[in-house]
Amino acid sequence: MKYNRLLSTSVAVALFCASFCPTPYTDTTQAAYASPAPTKGRAYYEERGDIVWEVPTSRKVIALTFDDGPDETKTPAILDLLKQYDAKATFFVVGSRVEKLPHIVKREREEGHDVGNHTFHHSSFHRISRNKALSEMDQGQASIVQATGTETHLFRPPGGSYTDSLVKLSKEKGLKMILWSWHQDTLDWRRPGVHRIANKVLRNARNGDIVLMHDYVYKSTQTVEALKIILPELKKRGFTFVTVTELLANRKTPEGLIEVNK
């Protein structure tokens, strides 16, 4: 009984303090700045066309994208397969690798593929300053211009990390931020096995998908081998392989789209 009376008294005191004592001040601006998480959800950015994960369309088109290249052997092998199946794709290239292998990136562009900016060093964008992000984007763009003679309008941040400030920076630089369909992340960088990569794409293939793969994976040719399964099978199903730019042109405007990023 004595314990119960003490407990009741403690609860009463706590409630009294909560009612009359102000909540400690929190600097929400600083907290938002420090947080590596996006300040708004996917729906917000997607409605405004700020970020693209996939493209609503009634056409049987699909965009294969390859990150982290170019690679001296795997990228040419992928280009050969794409040519064999009359397929177009998008390569999000790393500037430091472009400088070493500019002829491969030039070939990508000459054969009708998209070349996108994937930064210069592939630095983490998880907690990156505006100046560092700007430097990575500008250097990446410069390497593409040097190799191909033209700029790109596509950008993919390393790891898909983004914040509201990064989205704004991309728009300032005239770059469309392109991510990927959540059901089409092949995780090929983990080297899960050829059939796991292929099955991920084939079992989930939908109109307007953006598929994430990599043309540079250390000591792995699994992506190349998986493409030998993916390309003929999807072609047999009636899919056309397009660049991201072409995919965006096929976009069926959904109801409620807020056009603020023209």
- Which amino acids are annotated catalytic? 67, 214
DSSP string, 102-164: HHHHHHHHHTT-EEEE--SS----TT--HHHHHHHHHHHHHHHHHHHSS---EE--GGG---H
Distance CA 135, CA 203 (A): 39
DSSP lists the bridge partners of residue 212 as 65, 185
Distance CA 148, CA 182 (A): 31
Nearest CA to 78 among 228, 233, 186?
A: 228
What sign has the CA pseudo-torsion 91, 47, 168, 184? negative
Question: b/e per residue, 136-175, with b = 16+ CB within 10 A?
Answer: bbebbbbbbeebbeeebbbbbbbebebbeebbebbbebeb
Residue 66 sits at φ, ψ, to 5 deg, of: -130, 125
Distance CA 206, CA 60 (A): 8
